[in-house]
Amino acid sequence: MLNVDTIKNGLVIDHIRAGSGWRIFQWLGLDKAPFCSALIMNAPSKKSGKKDIIKIENVMDIDFSVLGFIDPNISVNVIKNEEIVRKIKMELPTRVTNVFRCKNPRCITGTEHYVDSTFILVDKAHALYRCEYCDTLYKAGEDGQQAGTL
């Protein structure tokens, strides 16, 4: 049995889709952070079978909309004095900017690097986003899987 100490003050990112924790860990820069953090992969989960968990012994600013885009089932627990003082549930953001690049070779964001890659939520039930410039559809997730065009 693996044992990871409790956090005195910091964040616990829980219910991460199994296998996605490492990308979030890197995206947050925790692989280079000067404070203690832990990535637990494939932990048992009653709800989904397996999950990843990230524990951070530090309070830091996180763009929750990006976490919601990566996986809307993620929850973030804010810890103070070893107690959960706030629980934040993620949801799909209505707009994401510069989380990933549009894969359409004709899109202006691929040729003009000063143009932000912006995607707008068009179908919440199917987690579909549309590129603001070329209308290419993407499914929310780690790498924004291309879903087609409108």
* pLDDT of 149: 46
- pLDDT recorded at residue 150: 47
pTM over 0.95: no
pLDDT score for 2: 62
- What are the pLDDT tens digits along the chain (150 aa)? 566 678 899 999 999 989 889 888 988 889 899 999 999 999 998 888 999 999 999 888 888 888 888 888 899 999 999 999 999 998 899 999 988 889 899 999 988 889 999 999 999 999 999 999 999 999 987 555 555 544
Instruction: Please say whether the beta carbons of 67 and 54 come within 8 A.
Output: no
